Amino acid sequence: MAEDRIILGIDPGTTVLGYGIIQVINGKLSLLNFGIVQLHKLESHPDKLKRILDRLNGLIMEYKPDEMAIEAPFFGKNVQSMLKLGRAQGVAIAASLNHNVPYEEYAPRRIKQSITGNGNASKEQVAAMLQHLLGFQEMPKYLDATDGLAVAVCHVFSKGVGENNKNNGNSWTAFLSQNSDRVKGGNPTGIVKKRLTTKDKITTPMKKTQSRNPKP
């Protein structure tokens, strides 16, 4: 990764989208801008997607980021909300690719872990840590702005290695190690125990028994 670069961080949403822009020079982080894109006043979903595209195109043209980092999709119970959020994420990614800006994705838990050391940290805790790290004076009204900023900082701390660069073969093991509380029976080590299949089962030969009524 380059020693002098600008990172655009995106916290996608269909009501409020947060963004943060930082510059990294010789490992030192400085804040360029952070804020939100209001979407709740727009009635139709296509209008929201267009607003996201237009605003991100403007930010990319103004700040000329070298890389973009975005929060990866998460799995929820509301399918419709997930689909709409996925479209918003897709539009943000399309905006970066349209300007030849490479992107990387980071899971929500990993972002919180990299900023605060706690994967279950609250928005307020993340924002407070970023304020201490980057030295901005006033806390924004919408913490979606600091969420977007957190994605950019996570990208730097992770040295650009996100979900896209993970070894697919170890992805399930990595998920278990990061979410041991969601595994039945604990299994804090994240070791996957293989379930024996019919082919794997070891069979032992049955001992021959003498007949109770042997033939004369």
Positions marked catalytic: 11, 71, 144
Evaluated on CA atoms 40, 84, 69, 76, the torsion sign reads positive
* 46, 105 contact by CB (below 8 A): no
**Comparing C-alpha atoms, which of 120, 117, 92 is closest to residue 182?**
120
Measured between alpha carbons, how far is 47 from 63 in angstroms, rounded to an integer? 24
**Which of 70, 63, 77 is closest to 22 using CA atoms?**
63
For residue 117, the SS3 value is coil
